[in-house]
Amino acid sequence: MYLSAIDRKILNCIQEDIPFKSEPFKILSLRIGIKEAALLKGLARLKAQGIIRSFSARLNHRRLKFRSTLVGIHVPKGKLKPLVKKIIGYPEVTHCYLRQGKYNLWSVFLYKNGRLQKFIRELSKDAGSKNILNLTTKKKFKLETRLEI
């Protein structure tokens, strides 16, 4: 996919914190060196092309007293599609991946209270599998990506 020099500047700029000001796009457009209307048009086009997946705030789940865990489960091939559909329907699931190996389906789950045990019980039941790994986060080292475009 072709990206113009302006597209690259836009993508590099929006990966940084967006200014919490009354006219954030005006500030960003000045950083990039283009008109605000051109920035908004570029953002809309990049979103329509699927290059920008979303444009939203990232909450600090730890400050909100949520914990994080990586859950791996062995899912038989015939049960994979319906289970994936169910897992990605959970608002607490941030990532869901099919991988090679015994534990072929992995998801990151944010939780508090008793939600984790309920999630694991439902996965086990729906997959027909007791082969589940629950790897609760002990310490976060990095949770952010910035790609130089």
Each residue of 46-64: pLDDT tens digit?
Answer: 999 999 999 888 888 889 9
pLDDT bucket at 142, cuts 50 / 70 / 90? confident
Give φ, ψ of 21 to 5 degrees. Answer: -130, 170
Each residue of 109-141: pLDDT tens digit?
Answer: 999 988 999 999 999 999 988 889 999 999 888
The parent domain of residue 76 ranges over: 67-136
Q: Is the pTM of this model over 0.85?
A: no
Please check whether residues 25 and 77 belong to one and the same domain: no
CATH assignment of the domain containing 118: 3.30.70.920
Report if residue 142 sits inside a domain: no
Please check whether residues 31 and 79 belong to one and the same domain: no
| pLDDT at site 100 | 95
Q: Per this entry, what is the length of the chain?
A: 149
Please check whether residues 89 and 131 belong to one and the same domain: yes
CATH assignment of the domain containing 24: 1.10.10.2890
Furthest-apart CA atoms within the chain: distance in Å: 57
